[in-house]
Amino acid sequence: MSEIVWQKRQFGHRARLELTPAQTLLIDAQAHAARATWNLLHDFWTMTPKCRRSLKAADAAIRQARKDVDWLAVLPAQAAQAVLKTYFQAWKNCWDGRAGEPDFKARFRTVMSVDIPQGRDLNIVRVHRRWGTVQIPKIGRVRFRWTKNLPVGKRANQENRITGARLVKEALGWHIAFRIQLLEPKPEPHEGPEVGIDCGVNIPLALSDENHHDHGRPARLPDGTSDRDKWLNPNEKAKLLRLEQRAAHRKSFRKPGQRTSNRLKRTYDQIAGLRATAKRRATDWQHQTTTEIARAYGVIVVEQLDIPNMVKSAKGTVEEPGKNVAQKSGLNRSISQEAWGRTMTMLTYKTSRHGGTLHKVPAPGTSLRCSACGFTTPGSRKDQATFVCKNPDCGWSGNADWNAARYILHLYRIGLVTIPAAGRAVVRRLHDVNPTIAR
């Protein structure tokens, strides 16, 4: 018998809040104040000369604004501090090359949210088999659906507890996302097989053992553009199109500077509702698929994809516009929509929960290289779906996504993996191996 090793696990859990209309308005006001605080901070930061920028000065600017402007003060002080923290984290992400520069948050394009950084303020109580209550600063006690055993009351201690929460407004109303920390036994190492996974264009997830995970929805339409609403059925799609046309029509009557009419707002809400349905279905599919993969395989190898850069590079710059922008951005849209990043996040934590490991290999060339002989020629890929090797001694042909997945696994087997270092990935050979390609 081996001794049990314990490890900390941090994760989130989302629950819908039962709010009265008055409470909804109060949280709306808090979220607008949080957004305004961010914008104020961004304004302060970009307008202040570099030598006078500091965390202390930014903090002072926020405190002064909260004194001067009544409606900014509806946001609890803790939440305002959280905005400051997030803003500086956004700059840090930008300097480390993980994200673009922070920008102003626009009224209609921003997800409304309010942070509750201190878990002990929440005072969560389970009041019924299916209901719990939570204390929300400046709002009061609110009920939520109890669908997960949360570490509260007698179950809570230093290791097992809720460390904070965030209120997020979705199309279906305000939700609370708890940040949970638990101490759990470390899983036994997963003895399952190795697998390479390609984020395919035709198959959303192509596996090197020729299994694949498909959602029965085309990643691309025949004209080469991505079908951004593929998670909706034909009726829902038709409805979405109708709503979008209606919104465009109503918008055409709006004079500059005029407020958005209530009818237009209602149409926008209906569009957001359909989009939320599509997103929920996509996330659900991702959860099921990643769980299956994490259960079945011990070693999972994926490409190191740099999605923000891929999307950026297709557009090019003003001086040097990109070529084939429409086609490439079609591909980009389909990558973004497959939400590769979200899939990766899920795979990362699910593999570690099942005792497996996830490795990333450098992406360039995986789609153009033959997995049978290792020969690369531009144009090897006949079309998006089929790969035909141009090497006269080989001539292998097959599904392009499976080919890429097999090549990804091969890169791992010869020890070519990327290791995240200081926010950037560097390629490092793990061990010296004969680089000839195994058939």
Pattern 78-117, Zn ion, x by CB under 5 A: ----------------------------------------
**Of 289 and 403, which CB lies nearer to Zn ion in the complex structure?**
403
Are 263 and 316 in contact, with CB atoms under 8 Å apart?
no
Are 340 and 303 in contact, with CB atoms under 8 Å apart?
no
CA nearest 71: which of 37, 111, 117, 107? 37
Backbone angles phi, psi at 198, to 5 degrees: -110, 135
Options 370, 404, 409, 414; binder of Zn ion; rule CB under 5 A: 370
**Structure token digits, residue 424:** 């950037």
Of the listed pieces 261-269, 299-307, 322-330, 372-380, which binds Zn ion according to CB under 5 A? Answer: 372-380
3-class DSSP state for residue 388? strand
**Structure token digits, residue 103:** 């920008």
Shortest distance (Å) from residue 409 CB to Zn ion:
16
**Of 15 and 372, which CB lies nearer to Zn ion in the complex structure?**
372
226 DSSP 8-state letter: B
Shortest distance (Å) from residue 351 CB to Zn ion:
31
3-class DSSP state for residue 44? helix
**Of 114 and 368, which CB lies nearer to Zn ion in the complex structure?**
368
In the structure, how many helices (H) and strands (E) does the chain have? 9, 16
3-class DSSP state for residue 384? coil
**Of 329 and 371, which CB lies nearer to Zn ion in the complex structure?**
371
Shortest distance (Å) from residue 345 CB to Zn ion:
34
311 belongs to the binding site for Zn ion (CB under 5 A): no
Of the listed pieces 165-173, 337-345, 364-372, 412-420, which binds Zn ion according to CB under 5 A? Answer: 364-372
**Of 325 and 438, which CB lies nearer to Zn ion in the complex structure?**
438
Helix axes 325-338, 307-315, angle to 10 degrees: 160
**Of 177 and 373, which CB lies nearer to Zn ion in the complex structure?**
373
Shortest distance (Å) from residue 391 CB to Zn ion:
4
The Cα 377–Cα 353 span in angstroms is 40
Work out the end-to-end distance of the chain between its first and last CA atoms, rounded to an integer number of angstroms. Answer: 40
Pattern 324-363, Zn ion, x by CB under 5 A: ----------------------------------------
Are 198 and 404 in contact, with CB atoms under 8 Å apart?
yes
**Structure token digits, residue 375:** 């020969």
**Of 296 and 394, which CB lies nearer to Zn ion in the complex structure?**
394
**Residues contacting 266, CB < 8 A, separation 6+:** none
Site for Zn ion in 47-66 (CB under 5 A): none
Shortest distance (Å) from residue 410 CB to Zn ion:
12
Options 372, 408, 411, 414; binder of Zn ion; rule CB under 5 A: 372
Give the count of residues interacting with Zn ion (CB under 5 A).
8
Site for Zn ion in 383-422 (CB under 5 A): 389, 391, 394, 396
Burial 105-143 (b: 16+ CB within 10 A, else e): beeeeeebbbbbbebeebebeeeeeeebbbebbebeebb
**Of 371 and 418, which CB lies nearer to Zn ion in the complex structure?**
371
Site for Zn ion in 122-151 (CB under 5 A): none
155 DSSP 8-state letter: G
**Of 431 and 439, which CB lies nearer to Zn ion in the complex structure?**
439
Shortest distance (Å) from residue 394 CB to Zn ion:
3
Q: Where are the alpha helices (DSSP H) in 224-261?
A: 234-252
Shortest distance (Å) from residue 389 CB to Zn ion:
3
Shortest distance (Å) from residue 367 CB to Zn ion:
14
Options 26, 156, 373, 385; binder of Zn ion; rule CB under 5 A: 373
C-alpha distances in Å from residue 225, one per residue of 219, 222, 351 = 9, 7, 33
Shortest distance (Å) from residue 372 CB to Zn ion:
4
Backbone angles phi, psi at 36, to 5 degrees: -65, -40
Shortest distance (Å) from residue 374 CB to Zn ion:
7
Residues that bind Zn ion (CB under 5 A): 370, 372-373, 375, 389, 391, 394, 396
